[in-house]
Structure formats: structure tokens, C-alpha cells
Structure 1
Amino acid sequence: MDPLSWTGAAGAILNPLLAATTLAFVVSIVSMTVLSFFTPAHTLQSNPDGSLVQQGGIYGLSEIASKYTLFALLAVLVAYIVAGVVMPYGNAGILGAISKQFTPVWIALVITFALSITFKRRLGIYGKLFDNIVGMVGFGLVMFWVFTAVFVGVFDMIATHDPLSQLSGLKNKVPGVPVPGAEDMAPGSHYLLGGDNLARDVFSRMIHGSWIVIQIAPLATMFAFMVGITLGLPAGYFGGRFDTALSFLANLILAFPVILLFYLLVTPEMVETGIPTYMAAVLFIFPLVFFAVLLNSRYHTQPSIRTPLLVVVLGAVGWIYLSLISQPGTVFNFMPGALDLFDIPGGILVVFVSVVFVNSPTIYRIVRGLAMDIKTRDYVAAAQTRGEGSWYIMLWEILPNARGPLIVDFCLRIGYATILLGTLGFFGLGLPPESPDWGSTINAGRGLLSIYPHPALVPAIALLSMVLGLNLLADGLREESLKD
């Protein structure tokens, strides 16, 4: 069986179009940049009736040209994807075969965007995101990896090989190399993005690496927000010695360099002491406290609703909490196997706890600052006049009005967590060495980077695109939240 080229038969038509549209886009961008130094962006022209009309001039023409050449370039890229999905396996080359593997992701993205754009006026700040090009691009990149992670982690789709399996003769092979013994042109008959230094499929390892990132980064960030909100709101609202003590502890933790603190928490010597397990028991209880206070403050005057709601919610959250901290071989090994919902590997739990611990002080300071500002507003004074309790005011008056900055920070912090996970994996800390997480994969491929760049380059691009998407999404959300 012959190896695959990058674009196959589809490249005969699409490659010249890609080159032409790329050149046109670059020329238009350069022209617009040069003209911006010599001509005004817009000029005003007076009409006979005395009205003024804005004229773009030559700069305006270059601006329009850059816009439409960008659309043309995107159309060609979409054509590559469509050709790969429609054409038989291998006819559209490596890019086409990869596009075909991502078919469930493309379908999920189209459905998500179609529904979101259709009902965007009913979806609050999320709907407003689809009026912002930057936000839409960021959202698309993030959801691409989210859907990829879900389809590979839950449904075992997309990946063509086991991320840990090694095939003889495929060590450091280039992208598109056929698998020995494969007879038919079908998914799994090639290493689409080549083999690494242990003859493992680079494409499948990249795909499975997304599942690890999506498992840890968003959930750990969410737990960190629970800690920061639960402590930051009363600190900012009440002030006094409570605020002073918590702020001192937060500053104490923030005084450590983040990377060094991460290294300290995930080193084997620290894990052997059991300290991360005790930290998990303390940090993971904050969601339980948060939901208890949230529901009690909202329904404290309606005990017939409050009591059963608290029993159900706290029972479920408490069960999850006990399952999270119950680990074999530790002092918290008390959950029977039939009731234990999670079997989290020790390495992942340590990394998870480390992300929560490192991010919590920063979130605490943000929430504290927002609470100190918002508590002076008139609607807070009105709630105090009505006789509302302090926790009701904090959770149902202050927190909703702080959602804009917190949502933006949440997106950015997931990106930071993703980078930290990659850094830990690169240095072989936390997760097992054979793990397909992007940091470990980059580290495994860097030794032969000058000769075989693809084993390290592929996960690096995946990591870059994920973090870029989160940053663009945060920018879009920030712009839209400022319009409220």
C-alpha cells in the first residue's frame, strides 16, 4: 500500500486556489498596513444638500479587499474539509483522511453554531457572543477540542489506533505511512500524522490528549472558582479581621512562583507524604459549602422547598465529594466499591488538586475586589433595606452582577491550567510518562526535533490552538460584557 500525500487528488484543484487566496490575502493586509501610514482611514465629503457622507478612499478599498480575500481563504479551507469528508478514504490525502475522522466533530459544531445563532437573542451573554467575530472564532476552536475530547473519551471515536500501542517498523515514520499488513484503504490503515520514537500513532495520541485536558482543566478551574467565590464574597463584603487573615494567606501562596509551587506539589516525595490527599479533602468540600449556602439563602423563608432541595442537592454533591477523596491506600479509603463513583488515578488527582490550590488565591482576590466595589451599589442598599440576609445579598445580588469579569477570567484561567498541564507533562511530573497528554508527547518528541519534527509539532499545535481559542473567547466575552 502506498503512503498518503498531504492533499491527494483534491490537491490538484484546491492547492492552487489555496496559494492564490493566501497570496491575495497577504498582499491586501500588507497594502492596508502601508496605506494606514499615508492616507486617512476615512474622509468626509459634503453633498449638495449639505449632508456629509463618509468615504473610504483607497484605504477603504484595501480594507474591503482584505475582508473578502479572508472569506475566500476560509472558503478554500472549508473545501478541503468537505472534500475529505465526501471523497473516499485516501483520495483527499492525509488532510482529507483527518477531516473524515473528525466528521462527528464537524456535525456537532454545525449544529451548535446553527442553534446558537438562531436563538442568540434569547441566550443572554452567550448569545451576544455570536455578534462578535473574535468570540465566535475562539468559541469554535474551544468547542472543536471539547467535542473531540467527548467523542474520543466517551464514545471511542475519531482516533484510529490505541494511543499506547506500538507497531513494528513505524518508529519515527513520516505522516501518511501505511501500517504493515493493512490491505484496504480504510481508517486505521495509515499513521496519518506519522509515528513517534516508540512507534505510536501521533494522531491518536493527540486526540486522546484532548480528553485529558478537558477532564482536568475546566473542572479544576471550576473547583477553584468555588473556593475563591466562597471565601472572596464574605471577605469583600464584611471586611475586618476575616478579610485580613484570608488576604494574608492568599498573598502568602501567591508569593511562591507558580511553576515552582506546581513542581513542589506534584513531586513523588510530596505525594508520598499524603499532603495532596488532605488538600483534596479540604478543597473539594467548598462546592458542598457553596451549594448549601446558596440554596439556604435563597429559600430560607420557604422551608417546605428548602429542606427537600437541600437534602437532594447536598446528598448528590456529598456523594460526589466522598467519591473524589476516597482513594485506595490512603486514610480516606472508606467508600465501598459499589458506591464509589470515580476511580481517579493518583497522578491525575494530584494534578487536579494542584490546579485548584494554585488558582484559588487569585480568584479569591478578584472576587473580593468585585464584592468590595459592588456592595456600595444602590441595589445592594435596597436589599439591605428589605432586610435580606448577608449571604442572600452576596450570592443573589453581588455575584450575578460580577458575572462578566468572572466569566472572562474563567476562560482565561482554563487556558492557564492547560498550559500548566502541558508544562508538568513536559517535565514528566504528575501524569504517567506514557500518558498521551500533550506536554508528555511534546517532551517525548523533542529529542529528535531537528530530524523528525512531527511527533512534537502536532501536540504543540494542538496546545496552541486550544489556548488561543480560550483567549479569543475571553476577549469576545469581555467586549460583549462591557456593552451590558
Structure 2
Amino acid sequence: MESVSFLEIVGLTLGRFWPVWIALAFILITGLMYQNRLGLYGRLFSSGVGIAGVMILGFWVFTALFADIIVTVDPLAQFPAMKNKLPGTIEPGTGIAFLFGGDNLARDVFSRVVSGSQIVLIIAPAATAFALMVGTVLGLPAGYFGGKTDTIVSFLANLVLAFPVILLFYLLVTPGIMETPIPYAMAGVFFMFPILFFLTLFYTKFKNRSEKLVPYMALTLLLGGWIYIGLVFDADPLGIVAIDPNELNIFVSVVFVTSPAVFRIVRGLVLDIKTRDYIAAAQTRGESPWYIMLWEILPNARGPLIVDACLRIGYTTILLGTLGYFGLGLAPESPDWGTAIKDGSRLLRLYAHPAIFPALALMSFVLGLNMLADSLREESLKD
């Protein structure tokens, strides 16, 4: 069976990512040219670590966006002649080179790694964003009011944190639980937090300016309700907002496990910031507690929260990979990196390439997030 050389594999692989290189070049040039006008994001381009983090993370973001252009074949298609073939082997029927070889089910490893980035970059950031919302909404009043509010919410958070993470996921992401209403009930609770957050945010800011309050509140209820109905009840009339039951189960499980840690961080930040003079000034002006929490305390806690969000997306990505490795992730045919590593590890001593490439993808994505977080931490300390 014909194959291409190592240099040809490198050249063909780089060539497949041509839209990604164009997008990264644009990001780099504009970032360097306008870094003084782009605030915290622009300051990332003043250090090598920041540039490397932005470029690595940007590579996978644009890979996910342009995945349909980059892939060579359908990631779920099977080519019997390509079972466990080495990288660079040419498929006889189509004449297409399997750049990263074929896996145990005769699927193209390259296309599956590229398509897997879409799944990872949807679930991990979205779950982290929801966890930040839940942790923030609970952490702000706990830290600001203290007393019984702090005691009750902190006890619940510590109760969740007391469980080993993997054991908790075994309880939450088992196949049998998807047949119960538990995942949808948890989704119904968690997906309410973003709606409540933005409603409270706009009300506290514009409660005396109805010309702005009404449109913002209406838009929040309209968009939030539409997304809520589509995700929780799978009843979007347009069919745009929908989520697979497997993905929903993993999503709410990640939010449930992650939000208590976010709560602890937000609570600690609030306990520190609420002693500042500008908080006392806002209280003297007669501002409401929620206005102070959302418009005085939260903006001044954005630095540590942004850094934590970057690190937490990395942790979530590793967690998704771990779940996939244990067979608790998405559907068995899913091209997500964790499932691909699990499938490839079964014959690791004979054929290493099906597991190595998704593992390298997972490692590089998390590395980019960690480098970005390190740079953000350094820049936030300068504020």
C-alpha cells in the first residue's frame, strides 16, 4: 500500500490548516499594532508567554471554526483497508493520504482530531461559563452579607467539594442516570442562573431609567427563555438550540462539580474587596446591596476570575478527556479527544498513533490555556 514520506506528511498537514494560519496572522498583526488600545488583551502581546498562549489557544479555536474545511474525510466514515494503518498511508479507493493514519475502526485519525476540537471547545468553555455564573451568583451574597447566608451556602459548597471528583462523576455520568429526570432537573436549575444574573444586573443599573431597563429586560427574557426552553425541554420551535442527552448530562455534571470551587474564590474576593473605601462610599450614597455587588465589587474582581476561568477551562478539558478514557463521556463513536485516547490505548503497544495525536492535541490546548492564564495573572497584578 502506498504512503507519503514524513516531510510530505508535515507539508500536507500544514497545508490543510491554511485558514487557521491566515486567521492567526491577522490576530498577531492586529494585536501587535493596536496593543495599546486593546486594554488587558493588548497587553498580552507584550510578552512571549502571552503571545504563545494566544497563538496556541487561537490555533484550536480557529481549527474548531474551520473544521469542515480542514478535515480530509468524514470523521465517522470507515475505510476497511485503513485499519490501524500508519501515518501517511494512502487509501486505495479515494487516493487520500491519512495524514495521522487510521484507527482500530479504520477511521481517519487526522479528521477525528480536528473534529474533536469542536466538541471540546463547545463543552469546556460553555460549562466553565455556566459554573462561573453559578459560583458568582452564590458567592457574591455569601461574602457580602455573611451570617446565615454565608453559613448555609458555604456548607453546601463544602459538601460537594468533599466528594472525590472522579467518584462524583461516576455517580452523575453513568448511562442509567440519563433515563431519569435528574439531568434535566439539574439543567433547569443551573440554566436559570444566567437569566437571573443578567436580569439583576440590568435592573440594579437602570431601575430609574425605564427607556433602557425595559429593552434590556425584554431582550434577556426573550433570548434567555428561548435558550432555556431549547436546552432544558428540547422544545425550541426553530430547532436551533438543542443538545444531545449525553452532552447535557456531562454539561450539568461539570457545572455541578466546578461551581463550588468558583463560589469559594468569589466569596474570598468579596470578603476582601468589601472592606475597601469605595465600597463604603457606595453604601453611603445609598446604593442597594446587589448594585454594590454587581457594579462595584465584581468589576474589581475580574482579574482573578479571568485567570481562574482560563485555568478552569483547562481543568474541564482534562476532566472531559478523563471521562472519555473511562467510557463515561460522549457516545462511543464521538471524535472527542478523550474517547479517541481511550480507543487508541487498547492497542497502544502495537499502534501508538491513534492515541498519541489526540493526546498531543489535548496537551497543547491545555498548555495554551495555562500560558494565557500565567500572562493574564502577570498583567492583572500591574493594575
TM-score range, shorter chain: over 0.9
Q: Match of 2:29?
A: 114
Residue pair 1:291, 1:314 contacting (<8 A) in 2 also: no
Give CA deviations for 1:62-90 in whole Å, capped at 9, x if unaligned. xxxxxxxxxxxxxxxxxxxxxxxxxxxxx
Q: Are residues 1:390 and 2:289 paired?
A: yes
Q: Match of 2:51?
A: 136
User: Which one has a larger percent helix, Structure 1 or Structure 2?
Assistant: 2
- In structure 2, give the amino acid aligned to 1:208: S
Q: Match of 2:63?
A: 148
Q: SS of 1:204's equivalent?
A: helix
Alignment of structure 1 residues 69-468 onto 2, 5 Å: 93-152=8-67, 156-182=68-94, 189-327=96-234, 335=235, 338-468=237-367
Give CA deviations for 1:281-339 in whole Å, capped at 9, x if unaligned. 00110000000000001111212221222112221112111111013xxxxxxx3x534
Q: Match of 1:34?
A: none
Give me the whole-angstrom Cα distance separating, in 2, the residues matched to 1:340 and 1:459.
31
Give me the whole-angstrom Cα distance separating, in 2, the residues matched to 1:400 and 1:133.
27
Give me the whole-angstrom Cα distance separating, in 2, the residues matched to 1:411 and 1:439.
20
Question: Runs of 4+ in structure 1 displaced over 3 angstroms?
Answer: none
- Report the CA distance between 1:124 and its aligned residue: 1.2
Q: SS of 1:448's equivalent?
A: coil
Give CA deviations for 1:198-225 in whole Å, capped at 9, x if unaligned. 1100000100110000110001100110
Q: Match of 1:61?
A: none
- Report the CA distance between 1:381 and its aligned residue: 0.9
Q: SS of 2:81's equivalent?
A: coil
Give CA deviations for 1:365-401 in whole Å, capped at 9, x if unaligned. 1001101100000111111111111111111110010
- In structure 1, give the amino acid aligned to 2:332: P
Residue pair 2:183, 2:252 contacting (<8 A) in 1 also: yes
What percent of counterpart residues are identical? 60
Q: Which has the higher contact order (CA 8 A, sep 6+)?
A: 2
Q: SS of 1:114's equivalent?
A: helix
- Report the CA distance between 1:138 and its aligned residue: 1.3
- In structure 2, give the amino acid aligned to 1:275: I
Aligned residues: 383
Give me the whole-angstrom Cα distance separating, in 2, the residues matched to 1:441 and 1:253.
30
- Report the CA distance between 1:340 and its aligned residue: 4.2
Give me the whole-angstrom Cα distance separating, in 1, the residues matched to 2:148 and 2:174.
35
Q: SS of 2:6's equivalent?
A: coil
Q: TM-score, structure 2 length as denominator? A: 0.98
Residue pair 2:136, 2:263 contacting (<8 A) in 1 also: yes
Give me the whole-angstrom Cα distance separating, in 2, the residues matched to 1:395 and 1:182.
58
Q: Match of 1:6?
A: 6
What is the RMSD computed on CA atoms of the aligned residues? 1.1
- In structure 1, give the amino acid aligned to 2:296: E
Give me the whole-angstrom Cα distance separating, in 2, the residues matched to 1:234 and 1:407.
20
Give CA deviations for 1:409-444 in whole Å, capped at 9, x if unaligned. 000000010001101111111310111111111111
Q: Which has the larger radius of gyration?
A: 1
- Report the CA distance between 1:343 and its aligned residue: 2.4
- In structure 1, give the amino acid aligned to 2:63: T
Give CA deviations for 1:103-158 in whole Å, capped at 9, x if unaligned. 00000001011112211111111111111211211111111101101111xxx210
Task: Structure 2: give runs of 5+ residues left out of the alignment.
Answer: none
Give me the whole-angstrom Cα distance separating, in 2, the residues matched to 1:228 and 1:175.
45
Give me the whole-angstrom Cα distance separating, in 1, the residues matched to 2:283 and 2:210.
22
Q: TM-score, structure 1 length as denominator? A: 0.78
- Report the CA distance between 1:2 and its aligned residue: 3.7
Residue pair 2:178, 2:246 contacting (<8 A) in 1 also: no
Residue pair 1:267, 1:430 contacting (<8 A) in 2 also: no
Residue pair 2:329, 2:339 contacting (<8 A) in 1 also: no
Give me the whole-angstrom Cα distance separating, in 2, the residues matched to 1:466 and 1:302.
44
